[in-house]
């Protein structure tokens, strides 16, 4: 854990955001994190340790996260997010379309506003 200080800090940030306004949920999550780190309960099973590298992370949590139901829910929510740059790619394509040779002197904020409007108009048309 000493080698992953930034990751632990990011995890604590996620827990704080997830449990915002619910201090009891935050303490439950940090308590369940202790179970996970110390491999107690279902996390310590031989099959759980063996399956860490064989299963997708969200599937692993579904199978072995019953000892920590709150942490399981949070982990599955985070791990089930798609990691894709297609939205960014579409946004940059729109950005390049708006910023042509004629309009290369647009202010940065105005350019962002135009991209936002055009992108949302396309979404609305779909």
> Taking the CA of residue 126 as centre, how many other CA atoms within 13 Å lie in the half-sphere pointing to its CB?
5
pLDDT at 10: 87
d(C-alpha 39, C-alpha 64), whole Å = 11
Q: What pLDDT, in 10s, does the model give residues 106-116?
A: 666 777 787 78
- 85-103 average pLDDT score: 62
pLDDT at 99: 62
d(C-alpha 87, C-alpha 90), whole Å = 5
Total tally of structural domains belonging to the chain: 2
Domain of 106 in residue numbering reads as 86-125
Specify whether 23 is located in the same domain as 58. yes
Specify whether 8 is located in the same domain as 59. yes
d(C-alpha 115, C-alpha 99), whole Å = 9
Specify whether 66 is located in the same domain as 22. yes
Specify whether 71 is located in the same domain as 103. no
pLDDT-derived band at 118 (thresholds 50, 70, 90) equals confident
């Amino acid at each position: 854990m000493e080698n992953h200080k930034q990751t632990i800090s990011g995890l604590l940030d996620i827990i704080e955001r997830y449990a915002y306004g619910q201090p009891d949920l935050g303490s439950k999550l940090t308590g369940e994190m202790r179970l996970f780190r110390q491999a107690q309960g279902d996390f310590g099973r031989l099959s759980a340790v063996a399956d860490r590298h064989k299963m997708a992370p969200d599937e692993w949590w579904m199978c072995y996260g019953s000892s920590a139901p709150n942490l399981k829910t949070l982990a599955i929510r985070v791990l089930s997010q798609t990691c894709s740059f297609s939205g960014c790619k579409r946004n940059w394509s729109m950005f390049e379309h708006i910023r042509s040779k004629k309009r290369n002197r647009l202010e940065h904020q105005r350019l962002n506003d135009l991209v936002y409007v055009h992108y949302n108009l396309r979404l609305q048309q779909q």
